[in-house]
Amino acid sequence: MGKSISSHSITHTKRIAQKIAERCAAQKPGKRAMVIALEGDLGAGKTAFAQGFAKGLGIAEKVLSPTFVIIKSYKIPLYAGQGKHATLPRWSGQAGYKLLYHLDCYRLKSGEDLVSLGWQEILNNPQAIIMLEWADRVKSVLPPRAYWARFSHSREERNARTLALRFPAVFLRDIS
Ligand SMILES: Nc1ncnc2c1ncn2[C@@H]1O[C@H](COP(=O)(O)OP(=O)(O)OP(=O)(O)O)[C@@H](O)[C@H]1O
Ligand SMILES: [Mg+2]
């Protein structure tokens, strides 16, 4: 379960995230929230990924880095996960994912800080998808089931990034 992809532009990074989102939304929610942890240096493309992901969920609002508010939530439209990259069987509507939480943990010192912001409550919502930037800072409170995307800059090319993705294989099939 995992794949490394070279992204050559911000648009490419967003497109990768959008496809993965369509597949995430097509999953049947489990007992607790889906957690997607993003890790990588400043400017590595974490927010770009979150923007593409939100688009793939059908969220029309503009997604910005919640650096100061730390947590921002967005309603996922009822028919998310029905785009052409969705996996079958499709699972959406009332019983599907309903909320995307976008977190920026840059200003947090540890997992304890996240707990004091109501982390457990968010995590206990089975119809939530939680995406965290700077997830490595709060690793101690992330569940082992979390999916990971690690971003790194290329030394040679200004617009190249490597995305090391640890997601179930069905989410990554045909994505490049
Ligand atoms: N292949 C690429 N993928 C993503 N972003 C790219 C790529 N190439 C260049 N960029 C540029 O890199 C920057 C990425 O910024 P972004 O805010 O997504 O990074 P970040 O990881 O969220 O940073 P921060 O840690 O400050 O939140 C943007 O200015 C974008 O235009
Ligand atoms: Mg960011």
- pLDDT tens digits for range 56-68: 999 999 999 888 7
CA 172 to ligand 1 centroid distance, Å: 21
In the chain, where the domains are located: 3-172
What's the Cα-to-Cα distance from 140 to each of 21, 52, 137, 159, rounded to whole Å? Answer: 25, 27, 8, 32
137 Ramachandran zone, left/alpha/beta (phi>0; psi -120 to 50): alpha
Q: Which residues, listed in sequence order, are joined to residue 161 by a DSSP beta bridge?
A: 7, 153
CATH of 3-172, one of 3.40.50.2300, 3.40.50.300, 3.60.10.10, 1.10.3660.10: 3.40.50.300
Predicted pLDDT of residue 65: 85
Residue 152, helix vs strand vs coil: strand
| Mean pLDDT of the residues in the chain | 92
pLDDT tens digits along 41-94: 999 999 999 999 999 999 999 999 888 789 999 999 887 777 777 765 566 677
Residue 149 has pLDDT above 60, yes or no: yes
Residue 42 CA: nearest ligand 1 atom is 25
pLDDT tens digits along 12-41: 999 999 999 999 998 889 999 999 999 999
Contact in structure between 1 and 169 (CB atoms under 8 Å): yes
- The verdict on the CB of residue 46 being under 6 Å from ligand 1 is yes
Average pLDDT on 119-135 reads: 97
What's the Cα-to-Cα distance from 34 to each of 50, 88, 101, 111, rounded to whole Å? Answer: 14, 18, 10, 18
Q: Going by CA atoms, what residue is nearest to atom 13 of ligand 1?
A: 43
Residue with tokens 């119809």: 127
